[in-house]
Homo-oligomer: A and B are copies of this chain.
């Protein structure tokens, strides 16, 4: 402990001498940190990474030892430097990197995650109150490595950092499509990389119950198609997350979304004549636990008694969403029950259910988190309201603010439904608080937010590409100051993070090619890649119309699955068109032409491929896109673009604006802008010439 105090003193005096020689804006052009830290100043020094790099730790504890060892592997793998010492030391003098912390945190909603980092003149000091702070600081340090062309160096900086929100979560739905342990672990690594701290594990739903139960074995035997987590696997994941300073909040969704539970134990259902089965479609279904049966509470009590010890966190998520009550309405006994207990509405009945549930969970030391619907007058204020509803569900201003106003702590998810496949910009611009009219107390009750990855349309092959990189930008929204809002700069930094996530094991980039190779029957995929980079999967649940087109066992190895929510070339093209519109000089013209050439040549390559069943649906749009590209290119080069040309191109543009194979081409607006601009610029002149 003595070492720590001395270092802290040295550290404090040291920081006073810093000069801030870059403004924050210049810094985030120069650096690719994400999330952006609270305070950062450059000192202009450079610390070269070489084989003599060493780490010293001042205190025992698996979190820091593990993070430091991983940090060494990351350094080696990222840079190719053969570091001599593959493991950290304890209290080693003259180590390159000193990790100094005071206490091992018992993870909770109030864990201190702050840290200070000084990188200067071949010495790096990272100090924090807790070991979790060290883990967060190491993520920052890893992002400070830059190549100068010949070597990798740590850029010299002083960083003082702490999160804006306490609850920075990612929910993964493992019911609709099961996600194996290693996949969860790599996503936990990615979360830690961008300093997220809550993994919400959506473990049960109509499409599968994913925890082994020794007390009720039919749950996993008949409710999971054989894919579920054993207790040991859950403990393994929880320990892995804990090492990264990530809390794990399990969710068992009741009383609705219960088809998988009822497939195993139909006697707990609200409709005795219903043939309960694991659901294969998407949507909201009728199977619901029967809140009037004492056996249901016995079941839940025993189940929670069994599973709560697996999850050390004080919170437990009980779902509670989207119970439409159809099976309650059609059950005479339930109607009688409601009358007897003066429960006027199904919502009242669900409240009755929730209150009982809350008591059971309290018995096992758990506080309750639940989706919006659990908020009823008798719900204790210790419960956290998880706000999922917004405009789309008829709540103009969402459901977060009413929860706060009613005295609840709350977390926001409505704005962070990444399965809606909206752009990174959209999510980045959503602030959990924004300009809401809240008192200080109410504002403090916003714990943070959660990204929700519902898995109707994702499999282990594609899930990483749906979560990342967009979630990294949302993680910044949760961690960084509300004033960090420059989208252009965020995109620049995100591009770097995107590749770093690949290096640490995420498959979001590499699996694109796997899908394209498969649909092409293993031909050259360049032309498909070109098309995929301007195509996005249909957004806001348009892809799976009515929820029945795709079943859980349908192929998710299609062209749409190789396209991302932020088509990279579409964004780049938009920028060059804007520039050209502003100033049609030859350099800007050339930048536009490069894209048009790419699409023209892409189609030429595409045409040369052997026919393959999954390529047929791409031909029409690709052909028209090529034709548009040729014409626009000609116009740019020739300076001729008549009204008639424009009409023809606009008509083709309307053709390719229609969705195809569950995607849409997202450069239509830019092409229209270009067409209009060319027409304004050249059309008149040409008419005059005539």
A572 to chain B, nearest CB (A): 14
Given the contacts A499-B522, A510-B513, A514-B510, A76 and B611 also touching, CB distance less than 8 Å: no
The answer to whether B517 touches A553, judged by C-beta atoms less than 8 angstroms apart, is no
A502-522 interface bits toward B, Cβ cutoff 8 Å, 1 = contact, 0 = none:
110001011101100111011
Does A95 make an interface contact (CB < 8 A)? no
Instruction: Report yes or no: A614 in contact with B230, Cβ–Cβ below 8 A.
Output: no
Query: A273: CB under 8 A from chain B?
Result: no
- Which of A152, A180, A502, A514: most chain B Cβ within 10 A? A514
Within 8 A of B (CB), among A509-541: 509-511, 513-514, 517-519, 521-522
A394 interface hit (Cβ, 8 Å)? no
Q: Is the CB of A521 within 8 A of B147?
A: yes
A149 nearest CB neighbor, chain B only: B611
**Inter-chain contacts of A12 with B (CB < 8 A):** none
Residue among A73, A553, A558, A616 with most chain B CB within 10 A = A553
> Which residue of B is nearest A553, CB measured?
B86
Given contacts A86-B551, A553-B72, contact A518 B611 (CB under 8 A): no
A555 touching B514 by the CB < 8 A rule?
no
CB of A305 closer than 8 Å to a CB of B: no
Whether A280 touches B86, Cβ cut-off 8 Å, given contacts A181-B181, A519-B80, is: yes
A554 interface residue (CB < 8 Å to B): yes
Measured between C-beta atoms, what is the minimum distance from A661 to chain B in Å? Answer: 9
Rounded to whole Å, the gap between the CB of A618 and the closest CB of chain B is 12
Contact B502 A78 (CB under 8 A): no
A75-90 residues with Cβ-Cβ distance < 8 A to B are: 76-83, 86-87
State A72–B86 Cα separation when bound (angstroms). Answer: 45
Any chain B CB within 8 A of the CB of A396? no
B554, A76: Cβ atoms under 8 Å?
yes
Chain B residues lying within 8 Å of A182, measured Cβ to Cβ, are 180-183
Q: Determine whether A651 belongs to the interface, using a CB cutoff of 8 Å to chain B.
A: no
**Residue of B at shortest CB range from A233?**
B232
Q: Does A5 contact B (CB under 8 A)?
A: no
A171, B183: Cα distance in complex, Å: 25
Determine the chain B residues whose CB is within 8 A of the CB of A77 once the complex forms: 518, 555-557
Tell me if B522 and A514 are in contact (CB < 8 A): no
> A552 near B86 (CB under 8 angstroms)?
yes
For A80, what are the chain B residues with a Cβ–Cβ distance below 8 Å?
A: 519, 555, 557-558, 613-614
**Taking the complex as formed, is A496 at the interface, i.e. its CB lies under 8 A from any CB of chain B?**
yes
With contact pairs A80-B558, A510-B513 given, residues A152 and B522 touching in the complex (Cβ less than 8 Å):
no
Known contacts A77-B555, A230-B232, A555-B76; is A150 also within 8 Å of B86 by CB?
no
Inter-subunit contact B518/A503 (CB<8 Å): yes
Residue of B nearest to A182 (CB): B182
- Whether a CB of chain B sits under 8 angstroms from the CB of A612 is yes
Q: Which residues of B contact A511 (CB under 8 A)?
A: 510
User: In this complex, what residue of B is CB-closest to A511?
Assistant: B510
User: Smallest Cβ distance from A51 to chain B, in angstroms?
Assistant: 10
A610: interface (CB < 8 Å): yes
Q: Which residues of B contact A86 (CB under 8 A)?
A: 280, 551-553
Q: Is A151 part of the contact surface with B, judged by Cβ < 8 Å?
A: yes
Q: Mark A305-347, 1 if CB is under 8 A from B, else 0.
A: 0000000000000000000000000000000000000000000
**Cα distance A610–B148 in the bound complex, in angstroms:** 10
Complex interface: chain B residues within 8 A of A226 (CB): 66
Contacts of A613 in B (CB 8 A): 79-80, 147, 149-152
Most chain-B Cβ atoms within 10 A of its Cβ — which of A76, A180, A556, A558? A76
Q: B residues within 8 A CB of A502?
A: 514, 517-518
Would you call B149 and A553 a contact (CB within 8 A)?
A: no
Given A150-B611, A612-B147, CB of A554 within 8 Å of CB of B514: no
The contact string, 1 if C-beta is below 8 Å from chain B, for chain A 1-40, is 0000000000000000000000000000000000000000
Interface residues of A in 141-185 (CB under 8 A from B): 147, 149-152, 180-183
A502 CA to B502 CA, complexed, in Å = 18
Cα–Cα distance between A616 and B76 once the two chains are bound (Å): 17
Given the contacts A182-B181, A503-B518, A553-B86, A616 and B150 also touching, CB distance less than 8 Å: yes
Q: A72: which B residues are within 8 A, CB to CB?
A: 553
Query: B76 touching A553 by the CB < 8 A rule?
Result: yes
Contact partners of A183 in chain B: CB under 8 A: 182
A151 to chain B, nearest CB (A): 6
Task: Give, as a whole number of angstroms, the nearest-CB distance from A63 to chain B.
Answer: 13
Instruction: State whether B503 touches A514 (Cβ < 8 A).
Output: yes
Fill in one digit per residue for A266-291: 1 if any B CB lies within 8 Å of its CB, else 0. Answer: 00000000000000100000000000
A82–B514 CB distance below 8 A:
no
Shortest beta-carbon distance from A493 to chain B in Å:
13
Asked if B610 contacts A555 (CB within 8 A), the reply is no
Q: Which residues of B contact A614 (CB under 8 A)?
A: 79-80
**Would you list which residues of chain A between 462 and 520 have a CB under 8 Å from chain B?**
496, 499, 502-503, 507, 509-511, 513-514, 517-519
Between-chain CB contacts (< 8 Å), 13 pairs? A79-B613, A80-B557, A82-B550, A147-B612, A147-B613, A149-B611, A149-B612, A499-B517, A502-B514, A502-B518, A503-B518, A509-B514, A510-B513
* Extra inter-chain contacts (7) besides given A147-B613, A151-B613, A499-B517, CB under 8 Å: A77-B557, A78-B557, A79-B555, A79-B613, A86-B553, A149-B613, A507-B510
